[in-house]
């Protein structure tokens, strides 16, 4: 993204120039709603990101300008100073979470903007948290590791936004590496980079343009379903602290003892954790048809069992199937946003044209198309 507009606005508002930082959105190949259950995820950082220019202002107040919204906010750094705008709460929350870890920041001026589509399942909010987390860490020399900056972003969602998210998005934004996906074990927090270069295939996102707002509560309800099932399983298996620790047999034992909706959701999670493991084996063998088949399995589960899809997403998924696309599924939290599609090179043009035209005919909406490019995580720009 061209940062000239950020630079110009910063100068106009605050005079002298500051430093520029960026942190990206993410894709996730497979492993959805597994992170807060201690399972695995397979995300990668992308070439769409948040950007901020930032400079300490010698006071104890933050002056922030959201260029894409044309809105400004000014707030102090004490717990009672929480701003009213949601976008400002992300910045405020990062500052507060740093202070809670014994490393307070001082006042600063900032202008930020980005090209991660909002509410599209590409983690615009994690990109924003990670951008400020990384920038403040550098400017004030706080010494947080990248993973700690991710945890600070996640805590910001929990404590200042109200989304009880897992760690996947902030982790991908902070720790991403060009050309690599990351296999993260969300229970041990160990991770490894997985080079991703699917020869003969492309990854493409189709945005339904139906935006979600995870703060709406449905996301948190999914998490609560999982926790209730874990509590029931733990009565007989105290070693089970997360759905990751459970297996199908343990799950069956509580069938009828937990709410059926909760049961079916937990079943999805246990299956999804296994699907990711199967997908990593297939990836090692270069068997992208197998990876794709597993992606369809994820979509089916997210739609029918976990119930985080919507008619628009299901339709784009069907379009992929009908066009012979190798793999397709809803990506991210769900309730709108994008499908991620694994497409053979030779099918790419026909698929995108067909899906976009049929989607327009059915819903009257122009779906947006994004080619996936895997890039580095949070960094300073020159
Ligand atoms: C959102 C959350 C993540 C993760 C995904 C679903 O993106 O922020 O932590 O739970 O949904 O996989």
CATH code of the domain in which 140 resides = 3.30.230.10
In a domain, 332, yes or no: yes
Angle, alpha carbons 104-105-110 (nearest 5°)? 155
- Residue 41 CA, closest ligand 1 atom number: 12
Q: Report the alpha-carbon distance of residue 164 to residue 371 in Å, rounded.
A: 29
Q: Does 381 fall in a domain?
A: no
Over residues 45-97, the pLDDT tens digits come to 999 999 999 999 999 999 999 999 999 999 999 999 999 999 999 999 999 99
* Domain end among 179, 195, 211: 195
Are residue 154 and residue 96 in the same domain, yes or no? yes
* pLDDT value of residue 213: 74
Render pLDDT for 280-318 as a digit per residue (tens, 0 to 9).
999 999 999 999 999 999 999 999 999 999 999 999 999
Q: Is residue 65 part of a domain?
A: yes
CB 170 within 8 A of CB 126: yes
pLDDT exceeds cutoff 80 at 216: no
Please check whether residue 368 is in contact with residue 136, taking contact to mean a CB–CB distance below 8 angstroms: no
166 lines ligand 1 (CB under 6 A): yes
> Dihedral, CA atoms, 25, 31, 33, 37, nearest 10 degrees?
-120
Q: Which two tokens stand for residue 117?
A: 């589509």
| 138: in domain | yes
Distance 95 CA to ligand 1 centre (A): 22
Of the residues 35, 109, 169, 262, only one is catalytic, namely 169
Residues 34, 172, single domain; the answer is: yes
Number of domains forming the structure of the chain: 2
Structural domain of 280: 201-372
pTM over 0.95: yes
Same domain membership, residue 296 and residue 216? yes
168 lines ligand 1 (CB under 6 A): yes
Q: What is the mean pLDDT of the chain?
A: 97
Query: In this structure, is residue 382 part of a structural domain?
Result: no
Q: Is the pLDDT of residue 215 over 70?
A: no
Q: What CATH number does residue 304 fall under?
A: 3.30.70.890
Q: Is 349 a catalytic residue?
A: no
User: Which residue's CA is minimally distant from atom 11 of ligand 1?
Assistant: 333
CA 293 to chain centre: 22
Q: Ligand 1 in contact with 265 (CB < 6 A)? A: no
Going from the Cα of 107 to the center of ligand 1, the distance in angstroms, rounded, reads 31
Pocket test of ligand 1: the residue of 118, 122, 168 to mutate, having most ligand atoms within 8 Å of its CB, is 168
Q: Is the domain of 211 the same as that of 311?
A: yes
């Amino acid at each position: 993204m061209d940062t000239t507009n950020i630079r110009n606005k910063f100068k106009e508002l605050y005079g002298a120039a500051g430093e520029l930082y960026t942190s990206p959105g993410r894709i996730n190949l497979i492993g959805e709603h597994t992170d807060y259950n201690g399972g695995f995820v397979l995300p990668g950082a992308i070439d769409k990101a948040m950007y901020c220019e930032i400079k300490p202002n010698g006071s104890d107040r933050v002056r922030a300008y959201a260029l894409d919204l044309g809105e400004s906010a000014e707030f102090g750094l004490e717990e009672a100073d929480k701003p009213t705008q949601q976008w400002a709460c992300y910045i405020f929350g990062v500052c507060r979470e740093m202070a809670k870890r014994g490393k307070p920041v001082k006042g600063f001026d900032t202008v930020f903007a980005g090209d991660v589509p909002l509410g599209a399942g590409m983690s615009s909010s994690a990109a924003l948290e990670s951008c400020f987390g990384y920038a403040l860490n550098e400017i004030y020399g706080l010494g947080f590791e990248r993973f700690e900056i991710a945890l600070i972003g996640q805590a910001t969602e929990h404590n200042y936004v109200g989304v009880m998210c897992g760690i996947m998005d902030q982790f991908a934004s902070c720790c991403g590496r060009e050309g690599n996906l990351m296999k993260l074990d969300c229970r041990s927090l160990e991770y490894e980079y997985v080079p991703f270069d699917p020869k003969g295939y492309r990854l493409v996102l189709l945005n339904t343009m139906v935006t979600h707002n995870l703060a709406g509560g449905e996301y948190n309800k999914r998490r609560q379903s999982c926790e209730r099932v874990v509590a029931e399983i733990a009565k007989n298996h105290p070693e089970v602290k997360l759905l990751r620790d459970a297996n199908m047999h343990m799950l069956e034992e509580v069938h009828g003892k937990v709410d059926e909706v909760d049961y079916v959701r937990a079943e999805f999670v246990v299956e999804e954790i296994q699907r990711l493991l199967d997908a990593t084996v297939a990836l090692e063998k270069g068997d992208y048809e197998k990876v794709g088949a597993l992606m369809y399995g994820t979509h089916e589960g997210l739609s029918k069992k976990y119930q985080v899809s919507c008619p628009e997403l299901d339709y784009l998924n069907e379009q992929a199937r009908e066009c012979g696309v190798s793999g397709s599924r809803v990506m991210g939290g769900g309730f709108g946003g994008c499908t991620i599609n694994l497409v053979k090179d030779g099918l790419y043009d026909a698929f995108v044209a067909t899906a976009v035209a049929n989607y327009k005919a059915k819903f009257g909406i122009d779906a947006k198309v994004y080619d996936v490019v895997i890039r580095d995580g949070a960094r300073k720009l020159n």
